[in-house]
Structure 1
Amino acid sequence: MSGSAVVIGTFDGVHTGHRRLLELAREHQPGARVVAVTFWPHPVSVIRPGAEPRLLSDPAQRDRLLREAGADEVVVVPFSAEISRWSPAEFVDRVLRPLQPARVLVGENFTFGHRAAGTAATLAELFGDEVVVESVPLAQLDGLPVSSTRIRAALAEGDLATANRLLGRPYCFRGVVVVGDRRGRELGFPTANLLVPESMAVPGDGIYAGWLTVSSGPDAGRHPAAISVGTNPTFDGVQRRVESNVIGRTDLQLYGLEIEVEFTAWVRGQVRYTGVDDLVAQIRLDVEQIRQVLQG
């Protein structure tokens, strides 16, 4: 069948609702090339600077997740003040028509064009009989819509279980390993440290079970990890970091490498200890508990 099946959205995090949209595109337009149209930077950062949300995925992650979810092509609209002033008709003519869509699918809350004037009904009016436009009801979980906003709130509260159910996968945080305080190595539990940019979401401060994936080098692969999110209150830290100890390994050389940290389960909240011995004893308990969680 000629023509593409186009889905449109910000797709931050590529959660279960986003994946359902891609599934329907392939299901309702068999044989068509599925194209995901998205935006970078986040439109809110352009329309209301300072009000933008913490992001659940960076552009590279989002591209990979969309393709894994069924997109054959990902088109990124470089969102700008100029584009924010486009009318719905301009958006359709400049972005969508060149993709030769046979079908366009959007979530039922989708808006576009200057002052969010366009809706799915607008798309249908602008395309007429040449393109089928579908407004897809939002996916639901526990009686509430699945949304990136809801996932961010769950992560901030440390409710990893809910966040992961909404995502349909473990939450992942990606970055380049930086040199930390080297304190973990001195304590017998070296960590790979990632700084937390203001623009990105991470789970609430605490200890988590998960996996650390190294993208390149001799230690490339997926490793079991004990993960700490926070500021190291025992040592009066102020910089928020994601610190991952690869369980059973003290020989990894990860500085300067890109890694992805996958959060599987919450273990406990962050605690300020009165001495190093108490901290080390707790880390040993945490690592053993996390080892069992990941094996189970």
Structure 2
Amino acid sequence: MSQRTVVVIGNFDGVHRGHVALLRLAKQSEPNARLVAITFWPHPMSVVRPDQTPALLCGLERRRQLLTEAGVDEVVVLEFTSEVASWSPEEFVDRALRPLHPARVVVGENFRFGFRAAGDPELLGKLGAGEFVVDAVPLFSDGAWASSSTLIRHAVDEGDFGRVRELTDQVFRMTGVVVQGDRRGRQMGFPTANIIPAPGLAVPADGVYAGWLTRLDSGDAARWPAAISVGTNPTFDGVQRRVEAYVLDRDDLELYGVEIAVDFYARLRGQVKYRGMEALIEQMHADVEQVRHILHAAG
């Protein structure tokens, strides 16, 4: 017989404090069971109401990583399609839950499932009677699952990464493969690693930030302090929105084609169109010194 599980269901976008607290409660309720998280990909709204799909805080692999770090033994990704959206509550239980042999299912009190959100925690409990119990957990006061994900998105939009850390206990991270840019940064003495934001993911407001760059292809996960720019390079009339990270005091890094992570810690300023390269270079020197100070204070 398969080991019994305690199953937690949710989108888990960003895996914030509310999610982590929910997972801990689930584990405490069944300490001898395997903790399984069911998450949906893509976001259900992208299928049900595409025009209302939120910008996601992280991609699927980052979500898996954060759930595992939060203590989940197995992450089950339910590919959300129009067929899945049409499942009745009974079909959802038969297809998504019963194969996992749950002893207990933990959801938020506002959890809805099945075609046109026909199912709620009460119905889930009835469908699982004699097989598993259902815990419907109240929303957390510091912003619960869906609502706090929304709060985090607003904070990212505004570049308020202190608030992001308050809500998630982690820095906001973007990942991507380094692409070749205009090479102007190298000409000015600030070579940058450029990534293009992935469609559908949240992107900080245009501006300059303090943070870190980590190369993800390295066994030692080398991590360096960085000055980060988000935007279109208005001084040079750019049009493509990019994330550009300059690793402080390094001009010897070869990162083209390398997958990197860019972690955002603090916002310095908004994006400005300068009157020529000399004015921009002067500002970049000032930005780098401010980044150095901020990250040194951050430890």
TM-score when normalising by structure 2: 0.94
Residue 55 of structure 1: aligned partner: 56
Residue 155 of structure 2: aligned partner: 154
Cα contact 2:106–2:134 (8 A) shared by 1: yes
Tell me how far apart the structure 1 counterparts of residues 132 and 12 of structure 2 sit (CA, whole Å): 22
Alignment map for 1:97-116 (pairs within 5 Å): 97-116=98-117
Q: Which amino acid aligns with 2:68?
A: R
Alignment map for 1:1-296 (pairs within 5 Å): 3-141=4-142, 147-217=148-218, 220-296=221-297
Cα deviation for residue 179 of structure 1 reads 0.6
Tell me how far apart the structure 2 counterparts of residues 2 and 199 of structure 1 sit (CA, whole Å): 37
Give 3-state SS (helix, strand or coil) of 2:129's partner: helix
Q: Which amino acid aligns with 2:43?
A: H
Give 3-state SS (helix, strand or coil) of 1:141's partner: coil
Cα contact 2:18–2:145 (8 A) shared by 1: no
Cα contact 2:159–2:266 (8 A) shared by 1: no
Q: 1:30 to 1:217 in 2, by over 3 A?
A: closer
After alignment, is 171-180 or 49-58 more displaced? 49-58
Cα contact 1:42–1:79 (8 A) shared by 2: yes
Deviations along 1:30-53, one digit per CA (max 9) or x if unpaired, are: 121000001111111111223311
Q: Which amino acid aligns with 2:61?
A: A
Give 3-state SS (helix, strand or coil) of 2:128's partner: helix
Cα contact 1:140–1:146 (8 A) shared by 2: no
Cα deviation for residue 103 of structure 1 reads 1.0
Q: 1:250 to 1:40 in 2, by over 3 A?
A: same
Deviations along 1:116-173, one digit per CA (max 9) or x if unpaired, are: 1111111111101431211112222289985212211221122222222212211101
Cα deviation for residue 70 of structure 1 reads 0.9
Q: 1:44 to 1:142 in 2, by over 3 A?
A: closer
Q: Which amino acid aligns with 2:117?
A: A
Cα contact 1:211–1:223 (8 A) shared by 2: yes
Cα contact 1:4–1:34 (8 A) shared by 2: yes
Cα deviation for residue 198 of structure 1 reads 3.2
Number of residue pairs aligned between Structure 1 and Structure 2: 296
Cα contact 1:108–1:135 (8 A) shared by 2: yes
Unaligned runs of 5+ in 2: none
Give 3-state SS (helix, strand or coil) of 1:254's partner: coil
Give 3-state SS (helix, strand or coil) of 1:130's partner: coil
Tell me how far apart the structure 2 counterparts of residues 78 and 159 of structure 1 sit (CA, whole Å): 32
Tell me how far apart the structure 2 counterparts of residues 3 and 294 of structure 1 sit (CA, whole Å): 46
Give 3-state SS (helix, strand or coil) of 2:12's partner: coil
Q: Which amino acid aligns with 2:261?
A: E
Tell me how far apart the structure 2 counterparts of residues 155 and 35 of structure 1 sit (CA, whole Å): 29
After alignment, is 142-151 or 184-193 more displaced? 142-151
Q: 1:266 to 1:138 in 2, by over 3 A?
A: same
Cα contact 2:139–2:145 (8 A) shared by 1: no
Give 3-state SS (helix, strand or coil) of 2:195's partner: strand
Tell me how far apart the structure 2 counterparts of residues 220 and 127 of structure 1 sit (CA, whole Å): 44
Give 3-state SS (helix, strand or coil) of 1:56's partner: coil
Calculate percent identity across the aligned residue pairs: 56
Q: Report the RMSD for the aligned CA atoms in angstroms.
A: 1.9
Tell me how far apart the structure 2 counterparts of residues 277 and 219 of structure 1 sit (CA, whole Å): 38
Q: Which amino acid aligns with 1:161?
A: G
Give 3-state SS (helix, strand or coil) of 2:112's partner: coil
Q: 1:219 to 1:66 in 2, by over 3 A?
A: closer
Deviations along 1:245-266, one digit per CA (max 9) or x if unpaired, are: 0111101111111111111111
Deviations along 1:232-284, one digit per CA (max 9) or x if unpaired, are: 11111111111100111101111111111111111111111112111111111
